[in-house]
């Protein structure tokens, strides 16, 4: 089970004391907040912040900043308009500035606190933009490829029976509220959740990319985090699974992409924020199958986690006051020691990835275990880049890890499983081009230059993952 941050003034996750900082964005947000409080114009400063975040590859944060940009004219409009908008805009701007200064990219993507602010911003925008909607996964999975996911073929009568069981258990879950009601009501809700879990377990098929396997993992994460009852996104997830069961019963083979993204984002959320423990190993493997990584947390008690967070704040203060301990990579300011550590990790990972990609071009020597090792190397690189603040590198490395995972699963699948895999393994040439693009980005980083965005390479890799390539 994952841990929560213990400090009462913490945001969502632990701060990242050795993480990179986009100082120009932080300064621009400070300027925007001052202008807002003085009832001045904040749009120009917010545009600068958005641009800096895009250049750094902090894409979820950029998406949040863009929402602030779009709403800023309304917050500064005539009093009749601004009075309803200003409190929402001001709260979002303050929390976003706080989160950005914690230098934790996973928190910026997955923070429930930030998302609620983002949802409120977008709700006000929707009043002026008909049809404008937003979901948690839009922020959490920004620019990330998501593979197609299947429904394992099953007998119609079995599906009808399982759906009837699911629907009976669904209603008390949808009506439940967190930690309220009598003991009997809470027990009934837990019994209903147990039944939903049991149905999903029976639905799960052998395909690594079977939707019900993913849904079962999501319910486990929601319950471990205490979010299975009362939360809007959790209720929506359970209700949409019922609709997916109807699709499955009609013979539809592929799960809706929007549902897959929503399920994956909910599964990732608490692990991204709070890390994973040894007992979460299966969940972490599932996340790796979908191109997502987490940290393994080491704090065993609330007291030790509070101590760690206090040390993190001290480390950030020291780093900010001693410029000799930092390096500049374009708009990103990084801790010098973390930068050197990253280069060592990256050198080993990229060498392994290049070798694996060249070997993958020889089908007679294909080895699923080699593909898993290549995926793990990509994820090590992606996690290290994320910790340092190299958003573009992290995104491309994680996508490459996902591509290798799909290649590994395609290699070990039995004929019965392969029958239900919709998209096969990405081509070896795509893997090699991506490894070379990552190598070029890392050469820039080693030279003290900001790496460019993945651009065409990420787009090609995304197509190979989401659509398949010849």
287-308 residue pLDDT tens = 999 999 999 875 444 554 554 4
What is the strand order of the sheet 21-22 is part of?
21-22, 332-335, 326-329
Q: Please count the helices (runs of H) and the strands (runs of E) in the chain.
A: 20, 3
Residue 322 is predicted with a pLDDT of 47
- Percent of the chain at pLDDT exceeding 90: 65
In whole angstroms, give the CA distance from residue 246 to residue 395: 35
Where does the pLDDT of residue 470 fall: very low under 50, low under 70, confident under 90, or very high at 90 and above? very low
Residue 365 is predicted with a pLDDT of 55
Tokens of 398: 């994680």
CA-nearest of 221, 178, 180 to 197 is 221
In whole angstroms, give the CA distance from residue 55 to residue 162: 49
Residue 9 is predicted with a pLDDT of 43
Under 8 Å CB-to-CB from 15, ≥6 apart: which residues?
102, 103, 104, 309, 312, 313, 316
Residue 410 is predicted with a pLDDT of 81
CA-nearest of 402, 131, 151 to 256 is 151
Residue 312 is predicted with a pLDDT of 52
In whole angstroms, give the CA distance from residue 392 to residue 377: 17
In whole angstroms, give the CA distance from residue 284 to residue 226: 18
Q: 181 pLDDT exceeds 90?
A: no
Tokens of 335: 């801790």
What phi and psi values does residue 296 have, to the nearest 5 degrees? -90, 120
Structure-token match 């003991």, residue found: 183
Average pLDDT, the chain: 86
Domains of the chain: 21-134 (no CATH), 156-289 (no CATH), 322-466 (1.20.120)
Q: Which residue has the higher pLDDT, 200 or 126?
A: 200
pLDDT, tens digit (0-9, with 9 covering 90-100), for 373-432: 999 999 999 999 999 999 999 999 999 999 999 998 886 544 544 555 554 678 888 999
CA-nearest of 198, 139, 8 to 190 is 198
Structure-token match 């070997």, residue found: 359
pLDDT, tens digit (0-9, with 9 covering 90-100), for 227-266: 888 788 999 999 999 999 999 999 999 999 999 999 999 9
Contacts 24+ apart (CB under 8 A), 193-200: 193/169, 193/219, 193/223, 193/228, 193/229, 195/165, 195/166, 195/168, 195/169, 196/166, 196/169, 196/170, 196/238, 197/223, 198/165, 199/162, 199/165, 199/166, 199/169, 200/241
pLDDT, tens digit (0-9, with 9 covering 90-100), for 58-108: 999 999 999 999 999 988 765 655 567 899 999 999 999 999 999 999 999
Q: 469 pLDDT exceeds 50?
A: no
Q: Is 218 in contact with 266 (CB distance < 8 Å)?
A: yes
Q: What is the pTM of this model?
A: 0.90
Average confidence (pLDDT) over 27-55? 96
Average confidence (pLDDT) over 40-51? 96
At residue 328, the 3 state secondary structure works out as strand
Residue 243 is predicted with a pLDDT of 96
The CA distances from residue 9 to 6, 301, 342, 463, in Å, are 9, 18, 30, 42
pLDDT, tens digit (0-9, with 9 covering 90-100), for 332-366: 999 999 999 999 989 999 988 988 887 776 655 56
CA-nearest of 346, 455, 402, 384 to 55 is 455
Structure-token match 């934790």, residue found: 104
CA-nearest of 388, 361, 392, 393 to 378 is 393
What's the residue count for the chain?
A: 470
């Amino acid at each position: 089970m994952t841990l929560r941050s213990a400090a009462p003034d913490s945001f969502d996750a632990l701060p990242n004391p050795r993480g990179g900082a986009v100082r120009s964005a932080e300064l621009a947000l400070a300027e925007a907040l001052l202008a807002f409080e003085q009832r001045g114009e904040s749009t120009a400063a917010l545009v600068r912040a958005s641009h800096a975040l895009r250049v750094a590859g902090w894409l979820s944060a950029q998406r949040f900043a863009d929402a602030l940009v779009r709403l800023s004219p309304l917050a500064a409009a005539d009093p009749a308009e601004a009075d309803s908008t200003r409190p929402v805009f001001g709260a979002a701007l303050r929390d976003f500035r706080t989160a950005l200064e914690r230098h934790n990219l996973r928190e910026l993507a997955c923070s429930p606190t930030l998302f609620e602010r983002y949802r409120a911003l977008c709700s006000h925008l929707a009043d002026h933009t008909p049809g404008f909607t937003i979901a948690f996964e839009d922020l959490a999975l920004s620019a990330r490829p998501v593979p197609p996911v299947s429904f394992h073929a099953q007998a119609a009568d079995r599906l009808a029976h399982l759906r009837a069981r699911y629907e009976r258990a669904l209603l008390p879950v949808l009506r439940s509220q967190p930690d309220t009601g009598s003991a009997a009501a809470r027990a009934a809700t837990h019994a209903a959740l147990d039944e939903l879990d049991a149905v999903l377990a029976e639905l799960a098929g052998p395909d690594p990319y079977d939707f019900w396997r993913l849904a079962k993992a999501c319910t486990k994460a929601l319950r471990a985090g205490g979010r299975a009852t009362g939360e809007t996104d959790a209720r929506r997830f359970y209700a949409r699974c019922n609709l997916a069961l109807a699709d499955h019963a009609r013979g539809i083979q592929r799960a809706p992409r929007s549902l897959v993204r929503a399920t994956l984002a909910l599964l990732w959320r608490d692990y991204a924020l709070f890390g994973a423990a040894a007992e979460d190993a299966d969940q972490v493997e599932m996340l790796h199958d979908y191109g997502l990584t987490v940290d393994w947390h080491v704090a065993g008690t609330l007291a030790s986690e509070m101590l760690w967070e206090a040390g993190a704040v001290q480390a950030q203060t020291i780093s900010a006051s001693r410029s000799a301990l930092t390096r500049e990579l374009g708009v990103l300011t990084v801790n010098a020691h973390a930068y050197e550590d990253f280069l060592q990790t990256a050198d080993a990972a990229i060498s392994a990835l290049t070798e694996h990609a060249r070997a993958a071009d020889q089908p007679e020597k294909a080895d699923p275990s080699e593909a898993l090792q290549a995926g793990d190397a990509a994820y090590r690189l992606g996690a290290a880049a994320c910790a340092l603040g190299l958003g573009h590198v992290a995104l491309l490395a994680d996508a490459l890890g996902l591509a290798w995972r799909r290649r590994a699963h395609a290699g070990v699948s039995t004929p019965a499983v392969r029958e239900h895999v919709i998209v096969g393994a990405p081509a070896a040439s795509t893997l090699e081009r991506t490894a070379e693009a990552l190598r070029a980005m890392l050469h820039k980083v080693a030279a003290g230059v900001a790496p460019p965005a993945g651009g065409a390479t990420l787009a090609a890799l995304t197509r190979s993952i989401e659509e398949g390539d010849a």
